[in-house]
Structures are given as structure tokens and as C-alpha cells.
Structure 1
Amino acid sequence: MNSLLLNTAAEQMANVSATGLAEYAWLMVAIPLLSSAFLLVCGRVTDKWGHWLAVAASWSSFLIGFIIFCQMIGQAPAERSILAPVFTWFKAGGGNETIELSWNLLLDPLSMTFVLLVTFVGSLIHVYSVAYMEHDPDRRRFFAYLNFFVASMLTLVLSDSYVALFFGWEGVGLASYLLIGFWNHELANAVAAKKAFVMNRVGDLGLLLAMMAMYAEFNSMKFVDVLGASRSGDMTGGWATAIGLFLLLAACGKSAQFPLQAWLGDAMAGPTPVSALIHAATMVTAGVYLIVRSGDIFVASPTAQLCVAIVGAITLLFGAIVGCAKDDMKKVLAASTMSQIGYMMLGAGLGPIGWTLAIFHLFVHGFFKAQLFLGAGSVMHAMNEQVDMRRFGGLRTVMKVSWICFGIAWLAILGIPPFSGFFSKEPIIAAAFNSAAFGTTGAWIFGLIAMVGAGITSFYMSRLFFMIFHGEKRWTTEFDGGSDVHPHEASWLMNGPIVVLSVFSLAMGMVLGFTDKFTQWLEPVTGTAAATENASVSVLSHVAISVITLILVLCGLALAFVMYVRKPVPKVAPASNALVEAARVDLYQDTVNESVAMLPAQLLTVGVGGADRGLIDGIVRGIAWCAGALGRALSHVQNGYIRAYASYILGGVLLALVLVVGSQLV
């Protein structure tokens, strides 16, 4: 096992000193962070132009990141792990007892992949948001929160230690909370924000526990020390399992994976650009980043690695089933995001053979899923903020640009060649069938789940596409009860970013999928291809996997076409079987959470409260009552009569005499 670890990540921690623009990599974080603070502090003075400042800040971070990326491309693979010191935050003690927390940026292929994704897609969404939020009186505050998110996400992926990563981790959680509840004048939005915040705290507890375990065992929380110990065999199986499971809990919270997935659907209450950037393309993939970055820990613990794969497999099916029954197009896309991240988690759980595949699908997914959400935002913009797909239909005739762009992203997520999703998702399915991590039985189970998930994905995403753009026009006043709707294309300030994302969704797979450039780029982190060859078996040929998967995808597409184009779409949700009813309420995930977590917690609270009132308060009140009773009894002694006092004195003297005489007799 340890020899495999040495082969797969031998070059990961060979950090070299920063030179050139890499020395100023901290500007990628500082610029959006300072612009966010500026917009919040300066207030309404910046209302007219603050959004353009935020856009410029985001593009500046992308420009710096892109230049550093180009600089790294020209270096040898062994020199593509750059450490850029920022400052020493905390230092105490001396000698062997020194405690030092330094803030450094780790610029390696994995972190720079995320930098390009976050800043480029984020900048396009910034531009889109200028028009989308044009009439919102709090647009300045929206862009301040958006830039705070960008800074936090970059902190997360560029950190060289789990401590610094935790700051970014908490920052993106705070930004998510602020943006989900941005329109907090509506109670449902505020409740959704609180739900997301609380469920993410469960995941954050997992990350904290993992960090505590790391420090207890290795006296360090730096990647170089913790992952180095796992590769060298200094991390025992018990510690690796504990740390791995804690990290998995953190990933489940942030990436909306089973069993902490319930918050993502409600998070769609935020503005659509937020859903595109935070809850589709970037933040929700942070859990996948954490697992892959900590990959050596999971390889050291087969138990933790198996749990990652199981979580991914369950979630990809869970999200796909839920997506089939939703009529709210944003919630369909949320379920799709949950499912696609499940594919990434499954890939990451396969070990070194799947790390690169998981990151490639994450990277590609960020483009076409952001495009889908922005396209949904354009439809909402044209339909008076309507999200019910039963109120759409036939929009291809009046929104041709949106139809074409949305169609490209739809084909990409289906995995139809030559669109990008085919080159990113199909290899994960093949790897699930061919991974030796869990034996032949495990390969069949995970492979079949991934393959079936592809067919279900094709059905519900085709259902989404056809219900919005095809079929009869259901937005007429006769259908929707008199609503005055005049659908139209959005401005090019909104359509421009969507078109750019469409180009990437179409071309990225062909550019990167036909070559091994992306694999070679990530090799310093994920290991060489030769190191993963021994980690594979062959239960089904790659050609057979591709053909069967494509057949299932086409069957799902055809079924959706028959049900939602050939047949009329019902105005109300029809009564159906128990599975459909369950899927409409997210497979009762809220009910399960309430039964498993909330109800026991409430009962515990009632019990502890009763014990506190009955026992603790009872003791305190009992002592007070006894003191009062004693006081009341003794108060009769002080009656004000001289004869009574004389009697007390006489009694005291007699008692003293008895004691003296008695002592003499003894």
C-alpha cells in the first residue's frame, strides 16, 4: 500500500520558491477581498459604479492567475509546486516546543485548476449579474458579497495547510449564507439561508475534528507534514480512518452529499447568479477538492476510501431520482448538481485511478452547469421570474439564442459526443467498472450505479429542456390564469457570458478529452498514469461501457421526448406512484433529518431542561426553602418579651452547668 502512495504522489510536496508574478499571488485574494470591504464600507456612494469595481476586481484575479498558470506551463512538472509565503500569523514557544502558524499560498496544478475555474467562471457571472441585478436597490451589497466569496474560495484552494484552508472554508460558508438570504424580506429565503448554514456547520465540525486529530498525531496541520506522513507509512490505519472519515463528513456538508444534502435545493432561494457560481460551479465542489487534496490519507485507509465511493454512489442516484420529479427548474438543476458531484465523489473514492477523472469532471461541469443556471436565469428574466416549467413551453421560437446555448449545455451534461460531458463523465463510469480498489464485486456495483445514473440524468435533463423550450406554448393567458407574459431574449450583457460558456462546453471536451494533457498537468499532485495501472481490473471493456452508457442516455432522451413533447404537459402535478410522490418531497430527506437528528435533539433538550429545572434548580430552591424555614422558626425566639429572654438565659446557664458537671463525672 505504501509503495503505491509513494508512486502516486511522489512529486506533490517538492515545493519550489515563488518567482516572478507568483511572488504576488496573494493579490488574487487581496483584490476581491479589499473591493468587497470597500463596497460595504463606502455605502451608497458607490451604488452607481460599485458593481463595475467588483467586476474589475474579479477579472484582475483571473488575469493574475492566468499569467501564473502560463508561467507554470513553461516549467518542468517537478517544479510546478510553488510555495509563496505571505506572512507568519502566530508563533510561540521555542526549540522543539515552537508553535508556528504561517500563511503561505500553494501554487500547484490542482490549486491553479481551481483558480482558473473560480476566477474565469466567476468573472463571467459578475458580468451577467450587472444586468440581472440592475433593478435591485441592493446591487452594491450583492457584489460585495460576491467578491467576498471569490476571495474566500481562492483562500480555500490556495492554502498550504488545513488551518488556512479552514478560514476559506468558513468564508465561503458565510458568503453562501449571506447570498442565499440576500432577499431576506421573504421569510422562506431567510429560512433557507439558516438551513444551509446549520447543515454546513455539521460538516465544519468534521473538518475541525480532522484538524485536531492531525495535530494530536503529527503536531502539524500542514499538507506537507500530514500527507507526507501518510505516504511514508507513519500514519497508522486507525488514525488514517478517523481523519479520513472526518474529512468526508466535511466534504458531505459543503458539497451537499448524502446524508447532508438537504440544504442545496432550498439554497435556490438566492439570486440565480449565486446559484450558478456558488451552488453549482465552485463552492459545492470544495468537498471534492478536499478529498483529492487529502487523497493519500484515503489510500492509507481502505475503509475511508470505500465510504467516499459509497457516499458518491448514493448521492448520484439520489439527486437523479429527485430531479425527475421536480417542476421548479432551479431545483431540477440543484438536484443535477448534487448528482454530478456524486460522480466526482465516486471518482475520488476510487483512489489514484479516479482522482484526475474527478477533477476533470469538476472542471468541465463548472462551465456547463454555470451555463445552465445562467440560461435558467434568462428564462426567468423573460417570464416574470416564473420557475415552474409547466408554465413554459415553446420558448425556442422567441428565445433562439437561449435555446441554442441551453441546448449545448444540455447535450454536455447528457454526455453526448463530442460535447464536453462525454469526455469527463464516461471515463468515471469506466473507472468504476475497472477499479480494483473494491474487488470485482465492488467494480460491478459502482459501475452499474454510475451507468444507470447516466440514463436517469438523460431523462430528467431532457425533461427540463423539452418542458422549457419545446412543446405547446403554456405561457398563454388561457393556461396560466391571465398572467401577462411576453417572453424575450435578455440583453447581451446577460447573453454574452452564456455564449462564452457555450463555446467552452462544446470545445473543452474535444480539446482536452482527445489528449492526456489534463492528466499530465495534474500528475505532480495525482501521480503518473503508470502508477495507477496496477490499481485496475477489467470486468467490462471500455467500448462496451461506452456503447451501453450511450444507449441508456439515448433511451432516457427518447422517453422524455415522448412524455413531454408528444404528450401534453399537465397543468398540475398528476397523482402517481409512491416513488414519484417521494421524489417530489426530496425522498423525505427533511422528514428523515427531523426524525434522526432534530427530534432526538429536541427530546434531549426537553430532558436536560427538565433535569436542570427539577434537579439543579430544585437543589438551589430547596436550600433556599430550608434557610427560610429555619429563619421562620428562629424568628419566634425574637418575640420582644423580657421574660422570654430571661428564660432563654436561664436555660442556657442550666445547659452549661449540665455539660460542666457531666464532664467532671466522666
Structure 2
Amino acid sequence: MNLLFLTFLFPLLGWLLLSFSRGRFSENLSALIGVGSVGLSALTAAWVIVQFNVAPPEGRVFTQVLWQWMSVAGFAPSFTLYLDGLSVTMLGVVTGVGFLIHLFASWYMRGEEGYSRFFAYTNLFIASMLFLVLGDNLLFLYFGWEGVGLCSYLLIGFYYSNPNNGNAALKAFIVTRIGDVFMAIGLFILFQHLGTLNIQELMVLAPQKYVAGDTWLWLATLMLLGGAVGKSAQLPLQTWLADAMAGPTPVSALIHAATMVTAGVYLIARTHGLFLLTPDILELVGIVGGTTLVLAGFAALVQTDIKRILAYSTMSQIGYMFLALGVGAWDAAIFHLMTHAFFKALLFLASGAVINACHHEQNIFKMGGLWKKLPLAYASFIVGGAALAALPLVTAGFYSKDEILWEAFASGHQALLYAGLAGAFLTSIYTFRLIFIAFHGEAKTEAHAGHGVAHWLPLATLIVLSTFIGALITPPLAGVLPESAGHAGGEAKHSLEIASGAIALAGILLAALLFLGKRRFVGAVAQSAPGRFLGAWWYAAWGFDWLYDLLFVKPYLLLCRLLGRDPIDRGIGLVPRLVRGGHAVLSRTETGHVRWYAVSIVGGAVLLLAAVLLA
């Protein structure tokens, strides 16, 4: 386990080499460095995880001090890696799924301008995410938190020549920065009251310092929740996620599957001791998740871009994780985080294969009939879509999502249970709507299947992990997170499993009835007045962008225009205007005439003598 530091050192070295290559490396060399560095990180992580399970450290916790970061007035955080069951789980997900995404990207990005730049960004992204999940203190975690925010900006705006991509990157950066400011305020409060940002020390000191529901702790956890909803694209800071599809498809898989969007879930789980002392905020976590998963499900129902459908599904699935955290189902939230990484990475990579095969077409209504031409991508969507829809018994998504629904029921949160069931129904419909429209029916475009091990190996591996085989991987969370209320099962749990499975199957059947064939009924509903209104409303994701533009953007621009005519600003502007005017006047005296210069000298001497005599 002493090799733990190598898990982030390899990607950092890859980033350094690729960054300073200035694009002079060949594509093969860039791929070797970019993919190889993450591959070495994944191998190191696998070795560490095996050692952790075979010969667990004392207390099942391993720490590795790298160096002292700073020491200011008693505040002395260090770069210390902290490995327990939770960070082991995240380490495996980030490096394992991250490697598969990098391998696929080496095929997908071939021929693109900035090939080495792409891998430089993604290597730094992986290193930053590992800082986030391995840091033993909140300042180290925040360092990685900001690192993934920076990398997401660079990757979303990778195709920077298109202004829309730059705007999408800027939007993601600004919206997530709002959450980051909230989080920073939370850290200030915790340090001011507890004198440390070491996570384990906080878990010990908080119950001693605060009573349940204390105002300052309430405010601190609310601020941490603000950071989590920004990074994990939950209400009300969810608007950046769909626009983030402007980046290359492997970026979408990297950001929306295993890494950045799960950071908020990890933060709340890691600081669970603080949230348990503020039950109102913990309940708010569940409400935010339940609301987001339903609203995102409706938005996904009417999207036409294959990647935006998957983006809204990510928003919805992260909502399930927040719902689980809110009802105290800590294990279930992390279990779903892991399985979601498998099947969502599979779906995004498969969508990349489809987009590449269809000459970068992303509108599902311009595809059709692809199942014969792209059998591997079709199999990936069938398996990944079934896992996303939680098809009973055979998919990984069923086991993790069912655990969340059971915990919501067992904890007495009936409203959140109904939200989860409604979300499951919507998920089945929009997932198989995508599959039936894109892969069945009449072919509307030419498609050419991809080839090569970098294309098929990641998809094949993730197909296996998205089945029940992936659900057999049990995160080692015993003793790390509190026991939840619903672990005891029984007849009630089996009944809920049957009900949730039936809902998933009903959604798939309804999608088949609506979207296979001529789709006359759906077309008629869409053309009706209520259908046009709801379709436009859901397509715009409930109008949050319009609302925020009205409440924040336009007033800000108006304020900028008003301050642009500010009298103080104009007064300060007089100084450079006077200097420029004096320069213009004096420059006119430079005539080049000797007589003029002689007269000027005499006149200046007379004025000087007069001043001396008068003084």
C-alpha cells in the first residue's frame, strides 16, 4: 500500500510530458503516454486494493504522509493520503473506468486537432479526482475539487473554435464555481469553530462541540450541500450539465460517469458525521435528489440529441444517490455510484461509437435501423439501457436502485419512495425511446462500424460489468459509513422488488408501443396544444436557463451598463484625458524651427528670472 502515491503520480507525469510537448508528439506516442499513464495508475490501484483486502491495515485505515503543505498560525494541513473502504471504492472506480475511457478515446479522437492536448487535460483530470477522493483533509479535497472544475472547463471547451462550445465551458465553470464558493464558506465555518479541516478530526470534534441542529453547523452543512449540488448538477445548480455535451464524447463519459459529477455524493458521504448532526439538512439532501431525478426524467423524454438524453439521465441517477444519502442509505448511495459508473460509461462510449459511425450526427431522429450495421454499439445500448432502466435480476442497476428504493421505504420517507418509483418508470421510457428510435425502424443515414481493440475492448468490459456480474462487486464500506435502517429485508422488500421490476418492464413495454413502428399516436399528442406546450417546456429543461437569465444575467448586464456611466469612473478617467491633452499641446511646440526654439528659451529664462525676483 506504500505505492498509493503512484496512482496520481503517473497521470501527473503524463500531463507534464504531454503539456510540454507542444503538440509535437505523434498520435501514437501521445496515446501511449496518455493511456499508459492512466493504465499504470489503474494497475497500481488494483495492487493497492488487493493488498487492502488481503492484508488490511490496522483499523482498516491506511494513511500516507507525502509532505507538509503549509503551517500558518497553528493551521498545518499536509498532503496526506487516506485510504479506507470508501476511498478504496472511489479509487477503483476512478482509475478502472477512467482507463477504459482513455483507451476508447485513443480510438475515438484519432485525426482530431489537439490529440495530445486532449490527453494532457484528461490525465490532469484523473490526477485531480484522485486528490479529491484520497485527501485526508477538506483543504486537500478542495484542491482536487477545484482541479476537476478547471479540467472540466478545458475539456468541455476542447473544440474552442466554435463559440458555442466556449460558452458551454464558461457556463459549466461559472455555475460550478457558485457551488464552490458555498463550499469554501462551509470550510471557513468549520475551521473557525473546530480549528481543523482534517476530516477524521472533524467527525470526532463535531459531536463534542455542537448539539444536534446547532445553527453554525446547520449553516456549514448547508454550504457543503451547496458545493455538492453544484458539482453533481442537482437542483438548483443543474443547468450546466446538458450543455457540457459540447465536449468530445469520451469527455462526457469521463465527467458524467465515474468522476466529476459523483464528487458531491462522495463529499456528503465522507462528511456524513456532520450531516447526521443536522437532520434538517440531511432531509433536504433527499428532497433535492428526489425532485431532481423526476424533473430530469421528464426533460430526457423529449430530447432529440443522443448525448443530451444521457446527460439528463445522469442528472436523474445522481438524484437517486442524493435521495439515498438523504434517507441515510449511505451504502446504497455508494453502491449505485459504482454501478452507475459502469453502465453510464458504457452508454456514453457506445453513443460515441454511434456518432462516429454516423459522421458526427447526434439527432436520434436522423438515425434509425442501426442495429444491423453497429451490432456492438447496439448490444452496448441494450445492456447499458437495461441497467439504466433497472431491468430485474440480470442488470447491475436493478440491485443498486432497488436497494435505494427499499431504504427509502424502510426509513418512512414515502414521498421520496414514490419519486424514486416515478423516476424508474420515466427512465425506462426515455432510455428505450432512444434505443427504439436510433436502432430500429427505417435507416436514415449511412453508418460504418468501428474496428480495433481500443474500440471494442472498453465496450465489451463495461457490458460485462453492467450485468449482474458488476453487482457482485461489493464496496468494502463496513465500519466506514453508518448502518442504514433498511438492511433487514423480508416479505416487504421482496414485494417492493417485484413492484419496481414491474414498473421498469411496464416502462419498456410502453416505450415499445409508442416508439416502434409509425409513432402516429406520439406524433398526434406532440402536435396537440398541450403536447406542444409540455414538449417545449420539458425540452428547455423546465425553463431554468430562462429563469436564471431573467433573475441574474439580465440584471447583472444592466448593472454593468449603469456602472459603465458611473460619475466616479468618469472622474478618474479625467486623469488620463488631461495627460493626453497636455501631450497633444506640448507636442505641437516641436516644430523643428531654430528661431522658435531660441524664442522659447529666452521666454523661459525671462519667466524664471521674474519668478526669482518676485519671490
The structural deviation recorded for 1:547 is 2.0
Normalised to the residue count of structure 2, the TM-score between the two structures is 0.88
The structural deviation recorded for 1:28 is 1.2
Maintained 8 Å contact 2:41/2:95:
yes
- The secondary structure found in structure 2 opposite 1:396 is coil
Of 303, 306, 311 in structure 2, the residue corresponding to residue 334 of structure 1 is 311
Residue identity opposite 1:455 in structure 2: F
Partner of 1:73: 53
Of 218, 224, 244 in structure 1, the residue corresponding to residue 200 of structure 2 is 224
- The secondary structure found in structure 2 opposite 1:45 is coil
Residue identity opposite 1:32 in structure 2: P
Question: Is residue 2:36 matched to residue 1:60?
Answer: no
Partner of 1:275: 252
Question: Is residue 2:14 matched to residue 1:35?
Answer: yes
- The secondary structure found in structure 1 opposite 2:166 is helix
In structure 2, relative to structure 1, the CA distance for the partners of 1:581 and 1:538 (3 Å cut) is farther
Residue identity opposite 2:384 in structure 1: A
Residue identity opposite 1:505 in structure 2: S
Maintained 8 Å contact 1:401/1:489:
no
Q: Distance in 2 between matches of 1:615 and 1:122?
A: 53
Q: How does 1:412-423 map to 2 (within 5 A)?
A: 412-416=387-391, 417-423=393-399
Q: Distance in 2 between matches of 1:495 and 1:619?
A: 64
In structure 2, relative to structure 1, the CA distance for the partners of 1:29 and 1:381 (3 Å cut) is same
- The secondary structure found in structure 1 opposite 2:467 is helix
Q: Distance in 2 between matches of 1:465 and 1:614?
A: 61
Question: Is residue 2:267 matched to residue 1:290?
Answer: yes
Partner of 1:643: none
Residue identity opposite 1:280 in structure 2: A
In structure 2, relative to structure 1, the CA distance for the partners of 1:617 and 1:510 (3 Å cut) is closer
Maintained 8 Å contact 2:3/2:48:
no
Structure 1 runs not aligned, ≥5 long? 1-21, 476-484, 626-666
Residue identity opposite 2:248 in structure 1: P
The structural deviation recorded for 1:597 is 2.4
Q: Distance in 1 between matches of 2:408 and 2:518?
A: 37
- The secondary structure found in structure 2 opposite 1:526 is coil
Maintained 8 Å contact 1:395/1:487:
no
Q: Distance in 2 between matches of 1:320 and 1:344?
A: 15
Of 130, 150, 156 in structure 2, the residue corresponding to residue 154 of structure 1 is 130
Partner of 2:80: 104
Q: Distance in 1 between matches of 2:491 and 2:544?
A: 35
Maintained 8 Å contact 1:40/1:141:
yes
- The secondary structure found in structure 1 opposite 2:70 is strand
Partner of 2:404: 428
- The secondary structure found in structure 2 opposite 1:220 is coil
The structural deviation recorded for 1:266 is 0.5
Q: What per-residue deviation string (whole Å, max 9, x for no partner) do you get for residues 103-162 of structure 1?
A: 100011111111111111111111111111111131001001010000000000000111
Question: Is residue 2:47 matched to residue 1:86?
Answer: no
In structure 2, relative to structure 1, the CA distance for the partners of 1:546 and 1:182 (3 Å cut) is same
Q: Distance in 1 between matches of 2:523 and 2:10?
A: 49
Partner of 1:456: 426
Maintained 8 Å contact 1:229/1:235:
no
Partner of 2:438: 468
Maintained 8 Å contact 1:276/1:374:
yes
Of 483, 491, 510 in structure 1, the residue corresponding to residue 452 of structure 2 is 491
Q: Size of the alignment, in residue pairs? A: 570
Normalised to the residue count of structure 1, the TM-score between the two structures is 0.81
Question: Is residue 2:359 matched to residue 1:359?
Answer: no
Question: Is residue 2:287 matched to residue 1:302?
Answer: no
Q: How does 1:589-604 map to 2 (within 5 A)?
A: 589-604=544-559
Q: What per-residue deviation string (whole Å, max 9, x for no partner) do you get for residues 522-547 of structure 1?
A: 022103x4xx34x8999992223222
Structure possessing the higher radius of gyration over alpha carbons: 1
Partner of 2:494: 543
The structural deviation recorded for 1:511 is 1.9
In structure 2, relative to structure 1, the CA distance for the partners of 1:390 and 1:73 (3 Å cut) is same
Of 485, 489, 514 in structure 2, the residue corresponding to residue 563 of structure 1 is 514
In structure 2, relative to structure 1, the CA distance for the partners of 1:23 and 1:45 (3 Å cut) is same
Q: Distance in 2 between matches of 1:597 and 1:226?
A: 36
Residue identity opposite 1:28 in structure 2: T
Q: Distance in 2 between matches of 1:619 and 1:60?
A: 58
Residue identity opposite 1:124 in structure 2: L
The structural deviation recorded for 1:615 is 6.4
Partner of 1:373: 348
Structure 2 runs not aligned, ≥5 long? 579-615
Maintained 8 Å contact 2:257/2:342:
no
Maintained 8 Å contact 1:313/1:449:
yes
In structure 2, relative to structure 1, the CA distance for the partners of 1:510 and 1:90 (3 Å cut) is closer
Q: Distance in 2 between matches of 1:387 and 1:249?
A: 33
Percent identity between matched residues is 35
User: Aligned-pair RMSD on alpha carbons?
Assistant: 2.5
